[in-house]
Amino acid sequence: MKRKNRQYKSVVMILFAVSLMLVSLPGKAFVASTVNLARTGQNRIYAAGDDGTLKKGVAWPKPRFTTNGDTTLTDNLTGLVWAPNGVAPTIESCAGEPMTWPQAFVYVACLNSINYLGHNDWRVPNINELESLVHLGFSEETCGETFCDTNAAWLNTQGFQNVTHTYSYWSSTTYAGYPDWAWIIRMYNCAGGPVNVNKNTFPNNHVWPVRGTATGPAQLWRTGQTISYAAGDDGNLQKGAEWPMPRFLDNGNGTVTDYLTGLVWLKNANCFGEKKWLEALDSANNLADGQCGLTDGSAAGDWRLPNFKELRSLVDHSRTYPALPVGYNAFTNLQFGNYAAYWSSTTHPQSEYLANVIWLDSGAFGTSENKTNKMGRYVWPVRDGQAGTSNSLVISKSGTGSGTVTSDPPGIHCGSDCAVTYPSGTSVTLTAAADAGSFFAGWSGGTGSAASCAGTDNCTFSLTANSGVTAMFSSAEIKDFLPLILR
């Protein structure tokens, strides 16, 4: 009998140890900055504080593209691998272009069936992948101060062949407003939008196959599209970095953090009203604490007008009116009615008198507006990280059970709200409460100011650095075995 008891206790102890291992495994970590945005390519300065002045984003590698032994080209900025021919040729039984949107998927599937260039994982690029080929400084790079050429001409100097600005390139992303339309890029002027022709019947656009994963140094993110309209389309493959949840955090000081990029946006998306482009730059560059509801300690010069890629990173291609992700209600006074657009700090690559804008009704981008026009043109300032003296706290949960973590002062209710920003030096107390059928097994993995969190008691610390900690919850059945182990 004693031998059986010892065997039983051994089994229980093993089960308990396995449970603790499961509990201690980290849950899905909340990622505070998932992607690093690339520069737009613009270097010429048109006004103080514009895109060419600040050059925000990951610098482009030199060379930008490398030709591989199989003749494909690797983009050294994103890691994607592109077919060498910008006009998809007829290859064996695979009929070349131009073609309709459904034919683009048939063509790429055919390439995979014949192991085109030694690979069978080609796909039609989504709109973010296709846009990554846009160079908003192509004219200045090619012709200096004289505006000339097209984005297609620049790409043809990078090792590609036959890239054309005639008609447009299909993406695999369907337009959420009208599922019969698809998103395209024009390699003439870099504009992108939903083409207002039926994707199922319009026969004149091009397809440019891509493969691989965007591993960086500049990463690409998912478009937001989850509905699939064709095998191999954006909704089917959902390529790119997964969006953090929650996507946005209201910092309680007039700012909102986007956890996809780490950028901090002005909460009031229409503090300044309609502005001309130079006025928009000036308004953003001089924004500071005490204006527009800000209590963040920021000073003039911390804020800026976002460049094209920063502004476009907010777009959710699964939505319209507005084309923004779930959680956009963290912002106020968003402008997305007819003819409403937001200025970027990026001058149009073919005219110094035009600047790029984003339309939040549809998410259309790259369309140019006269810089002297202010009707329906708005200002949405952005800045890097946290200005002033604030720190973030992020809670993760793991284990076989469930429960909720709350904070004093309020901000964490995880649950749903698992991240918050407090003024630096705030005394924070975290409390973990297990759900029925579970028990709180303790804190683990603390970083920053939360590194002291341990055991099962409430954890109190002074938040002086960006911090995080994991709350471990286990199923109550495991706890019931503890008395048996101690006999």
Residue 128 and residue 219 in contact, taking contact as beta carbons nearer than 8 Å: no
Question: Can you give the pLDDT at residue 423?
Answer: 62
Residue type, position 364, single letter: A
Name the average pLDDT for the chain.
Answer: 86
Residue 27 pLDDT exceeds 70:
no
Q: State the Cα–Cα distance between residues 357 and 133, nearest whole angstrom.
A: 18
Higher per-residue confidence, 268 vs 244: 268
Residue 190 pLDDT exceeds 80:
no
Question: Can you give the pLDDT at residue 146?
Answer: 56
Residue 106 pLDDT exceeds 80:
yes
Whether residue 464 sits in one domain with residue 415? yes
- Count how many Cα atoms sit within 13 Å of the Cα of residue 232 in the half-sphere of its side chain: 21
Residue 24 and residue 444 in contact, taking contact as beta carbons nearer than 8 Å: yes
Whether residue 370 sits in one domain with residue 447? no
Question: Can you give the pLDDT at residue 167?
Answer: 80
Question: Can you give the pLDDT at residue 453?
Answer: 95
Question: Can you give the pLDDT at residue 380?
Answer: 98
Q: Is residue 15 part of a domain?
A: yes
Higher per-residue confidence, 6 vs 27: 6
Q: Is residue 252 part of a domain?
A: yes
Share of the chain above pLDDT 70, in %: 85
Residue 28 pLDDT exceeds 50:
no
Question: Can you give the pLDDT at residue 17?
Answer: 42
Question: Can you give the pLDDT at residue 346?
Answer: 94
Whether residue 302 sits in one domain with residue 429? no
Q: Is residue 88 part of a domain?
A: no
Tell me the pairing of strands 192-194 and 255-258: unpaired
pTM of this structure: 0.76
Pick from 14-18, 264-268, 324-328, 331-335: least confident:
14-18
Question: Can you give the pLDDT at residue 7?
Answer: 46
Question: Can you give the pLDDT at residue 4?
Answer: 44
Whether residue 376 sits in one domain with residue 405? no
Residue 131 and residue 185 in contact, taking contact as beta carbons nearer than 8 Å: yes
Residue 485 pLDDT exceeds 60:
no
Residue 469 pLDDT exceeds 50:
yes
Whether residue 347 sits in one domain with residue 425? no
Residues with Cβ within 8 Å of 144's Cβ and at least 6 positions away in sequence, in order, are: none
Whether residue 360 sits in one domain with residue 263? yes
Residue 374 pLDDT exceeds 90:
no
Q: Is residue 54 part of a domain?
A: no
Question: Can you give the pLDDT at residue 295?
Answer: 95
Whether residue 406 sits in one domain with residue 475? yes
Residue 12 and residue 19 in contact, taking contact as beta carbons nearer than 8 Å: no
Whether residue 316 sits in one domain with residue 439? no
Exposure string over 152-174, b if 16+ CB within 10 A, otherwise e:
bbbbbebbbeebbbebbbbbbbb
Q: Is residue 205 part of a domain?
A: no
Last residue of a domain, one of 323, 354, 384: 384
Last residue of a domain, one of 350, 384, 418: 384
Report the number of distinct structural domains present in the chain.
2
Residues in the chain: 487
Residue 65 pLDDT exceeds 80:
yes
Residue 388 pLDDT exceeds 60:
no
Cα–Cα distances in angstroms (integers) from residue 100 to residues 111, 188, 208, in the given order: 17, 20, 13
Whether residue 425 sits in one domain with residue 330? no
Report residue 153's pLDDT band, with 50, 70 and 90 as the boundaries: confident
Q: What is the tens place of the pLDDT at every residue in 292-332?
A: 999 999 999 999 999 999 999 999 999 999 999 999 999 99
Residue 5 pLDDT exceeds 60:
no
Q: Is residue 332 part of a domain?
A: yes
Residue 347 pLDDT exceeds 80:
yes
Q: State the Cα–Cα distance between residues 340 and 415, nearest whole angstrom.
A: 36
Q: What is the tens place of the pLDDT at every residue in 107-132?
A: 999 999 999 999 999 999 999 999 99
Q: Is residue 171 part of a domain?
A: no
Share of the chain above pLDDT 90, in %: 65
Report residue 420's pLDDT band, with 50, 70 and 90 as the boundaries: confident
Domain that holds residue 321: 248-384
Radius of gyration of the chain (CA): 26
Q: What is the tens place of the pLDDT at every residue in 73-97?
A: 999 999 999 999 999 999 999 999 8
Q: Is residue 42 part of a domain?
A: no
Q: What element of type H or E holds 473?
A: strand 467-475
Question: Can you give the pLDDT at residue 214?
Answer: 87
Whether residue 302 sits in one domain with residue 376? yes
Whether residue 285 sits in one domain with residue 357? yes
Report residue 141's pLDDT band, with 50, 70 and 90 as the boundaries: low
Question: Which of 244, 243, 226 lies closest to 234 in space, CA to CA?
Answer: 226
Whether residue 406 sits in one domain with residue 326? no
Residue 230 pLDDT exceeds 90:
yes
Question: Can you give the pLDDT at residue 172?
Answer: 96
Q: In what order do the strands lie in the sheet with 210-211?
A: 65-67, 73-75, 81-82, 210-211
